[in-house]
Amino acid sequence: MLFFFQESGDKTEEPTPHRLREARRKGQVFKSMELNSAINILGVMILFFIFSAVAFRGIEEVLKLFIGDQLALPLTFNNTGAVMWEAVMRYFTIMAPVFAVALILGVASNLVQVGFLTSTQQMAPQLNRLNPLEGLKKIVSKKAMFEMVKAILKIVIISSVAFFFVRSRLDVLLLLVNQGAAVSLQVFWNTMTLLGILVGVVFLFLAFMDYLFQRYEYKTSLKMSRKEIKDEHKHLEGDPLVRAKLKEKQRQLARERMMQDVPGADVVITNPTEIAIALVYREGVDSAPRVVAKGVEVLARKIREIAVENDVAIIENPPVAQMLWKETEIGEEIPFELYQAVAEIMAMVYRMREKRSII
């Protein structure tokens, strides 16, 4: 129909776990108030049915007291308070279990549906509630139509159940005309209790239907478009462009730190132009030579240039350079398999230094 607003638009994707967590944090949860009411009604009616004898005796005593004994006494200013207090105490004595059961069932049904949740965001003032257009959307929404149909169905179904039940008991109820007050009250109490249980069961079925609808509406209201999912992913994981720039910046900083360590290296092993690996060995500190810089092509050329500027020995050994490139990372010591080969290179470097120092 044209009167209905499009509530979901292009939001066809199921809500993500993050969207569900955020909705719950804001107090946006689904629950059926009908289910709470149905459980309360059914629970209280079952309580009445189980403890009907005790409740009936309590009501009988109250009637005897106030219709019999209390009416025989003159009602004065002095005893009015006592009579009222007695009436209140008798009432709460009978109704206390009912109140307790209703409270427990109300709390339990809410905890089962929602769990333990505290949120103040739903109590915060929201200006969009004053928007007439938003109010109109709610009036002509699917939810509003469902609530109207549900209310009509509840009245029709429950009234029909009550009517047919009372009609089935009509013969028994008509016979109470010639019975004593105690018998009539007992039969009437049992009839109303059974009617309450029957209505409670029907109401519970309708409430379960309402619960399923509320869950459907909740999931529908939280559905997301593909763009929203992408935006959420970017928000949680970071924008790919930003992450790429950040990684590039990190690599640049790492290269700068790496180049700062080349002047202190003992040797640069090359392949001869594609790969350059700078090693350093500090006796008493390192258990084996350690890689302080490595690079290919442009970086390899830069490492060689810095090595030449700082008089660092450059040794061409393609097999060792390739293995060091594949097997080690910056800051790591060389693998055990290269101990012998690198030891020979380091010995050559030390001899070259000794010769230069003599000259």
The answer to whether residue 345 sits within a structural domain is: yes
Claim: this prediction has a pTM higher than 0.75: no
Question: Do residues 267 and 342 share a domain?
Answer: yes
162 with 303, same domain: the answer is no
Q: How far apart are CA 318 and CA 87, in angstroms?
A: 105
For residue 28, what pLDDT is reported? 72
Q: Is residue 234 part of a domain?
A: no
φ, ψ of residue 4 in degrees (nearest 5)? -90, 135
Report the C-alpha gap between 34 and 146 in whole angstroms.
13
> Structural domain of residue 199, as residue ranges?
29-120+127-221
pLDDT in 10s for each residue of the chain, 359 residues: 333 334 444 777 788 777 878 777 777 777 778 888 888 888 888 887 787 777 767 776 776 666 665 555 565 666 666 767 777 787 788 778 888 888 888 888 878 777 666 655 555 555 555 666 665 666 666 767 777 887 888 888 888 888 888 888 887 777 777 776 667 777 777 788 888 888 888 888 888 888 888 888 888 888 888 887 777 777 766 656 667 777 778 778 878 888 888 888 889 999 887 899 999 988 878 888 989 899 888 888 999 899 889 888 888 988 888 998 888 888 888 888 888 988 888 888 888 888 776 65
Within this chain, do residues 86 and 194 fall inside the same structural domain, yes or no? Answer: yes
The pLDDT, as a whole number, for residue 123 is: 53
- On the CB side of 76, how many CA atoms lie within 13 Å of its CA? 4
Residue 80: predicted pLDDT = 66
Tokens representing 18 are 């993050």
Residue 269: inside a domain: yes
Kindly state the DSSP code that residue 67 receives in the 8-state scheme: I
CA angle, 72 then 78 then 83, to 5°: 55
SS3 276: strand
Quick one: 38 and 115 in the same domain?
yes
Sheet holding 267-270, edge to edge: 290-296, 275-280, 267-270, 313-316
DSSP string computed for 110-171: HHHHH-S---SGGGS--GGGG-HHHHHHHHTSHHHHHHHHHHHHHHHHHHHHHHHHHHHTHH
> Which of 165, 194, 221 lies at the terminal end of a domain, its last residue?
221
- For residue 270, the cross-strand partners are 276, 316
Structural tokens at position 212: 């399923």
Task: Kindly state the tokens that stand for 143.
Answer: 């939810």
